[in-house]
Chains A and B, each alone.
Chain A
């Protein structure tokens, strides 16, 4: 019997009278939130599009300084974490706590590894003076336009990393709740909502990778 069918009535929030209705509303609400997130990142993607169109050569020169293999490695890490999160949600729906906790742990470690690799990249950018600002130093045909590339790189990957960090905190919270309370898995809604959030953060990275790492790989 599924966890949904077993959900006791005290887990129903106002104004819901039925677990299925509450679940549909939770997922619908999350999808609405994700649509606003698409537009949030969309503004930055639009800025990227305009500046890359206007400064094609300067962006190619700046892109040549990116370590594409680190971006590729991060994509592998993130795709794998999306896979483990999707499985974790499936096990939450089945009420299998041990598998859920194991997959949450793997997903969390992969997410933390992603942030670590990204942190190493940021460190390299600092040492190579590629961080926009007074210390920025770039040898190319149009350094100020190349600086725009790095402004967008730090802004967009920074916002993505912030979303990753929030996701890691949510995994800790829901994982801890599942660990401590046997009632946590009576309703899978929070796990499904977290699964949607994590997959969305994956999707954003799938576009950041070609736009920042494959511009002119060396």
Chain B
């Protein structure tokens, strides 16, 4: 099996382009939604690294599950905490 240099280079170039995109978009007046756009792009970049640099794409289902576990529990934490904050009737 050869080292797949071409695939790694394509992934790296895509990551560079996504970085340029998220940096550029931060300067546009997108109201309060710029944070969400930049985080979505960060998730896409993280996904590329997980799939190709960490080789989850070529791993067995056990690794797929384990790699998703931490992010899944973290998403519960973030979701439940922010739901509490945005659903409170703040005094004053």
Contact = CB atoms under 8 A, between A and B. Distances in A.
Given A42-B77, A207-B42, A35 B86 contact: no
17 contacts: A35-B73, A38-B71, A39-B70, A39-B74, A42-B70, A42-B78, A50-B82, A54-B85, A75-B19, A79-B16, A80-B12, A86-B52, A199-B54, A200-B54, A203-B49, A211-B39, A217-B23
B53 A82 contact: yes
Interface string A42-56: 110110011001100
Contacts of A72: 19, 23
A200 to B, nearest CB: 8
Contact of A79 (B12, B35, B67): B12
A1 B3 CA distance: 14
Nearest to A52: B35
Give the most central of A27, A54, A83, A215: most B CB within 10 Å: A83
A42 B11 CA distance: 26
A50 B23 contact: no
Interface of A: 2, 24, 27-28, 31-32, 34-39, 42-43, 45-46, 49-50, 53-54, 68, 72, 75-76, 79-80, 82-83, 85-87, 90-91, 94, 195-196, 199-200, 202-203, 206-207, 209-211, 214-215, 217
B27 interface: yes
B45 A206 contact: yes
Interface string B1-17: 10111001101100110
Interface in B26-51: 26-27, 34-35, 38-39, 41-42, 45-46, 49-50
Contacts of B1: 2, 94
Chain B interface, DSSP helix/strand/loop, else mixed = helix
Contacts of A49: 78, 81-82
Contacts of A45: 74, 78
A82 to B, nearest CB: 5
Contact of B70 (A28, A35, A79, A94): A35
B89 interface: no
Contacts of B49: 82, 199, 202-203, 206
A11 B26 CA distance: 51
A46 B74 CA distance: 9
Q: Which of B22, B23, B82 has the most CB of A within 10 A?
A: B23
B39 to A, nearest CB: 6
A14 to B, nearest CB: 22
Contacts of B74: 38-39, 42, 45
Interface string B63-76: 10011011101100
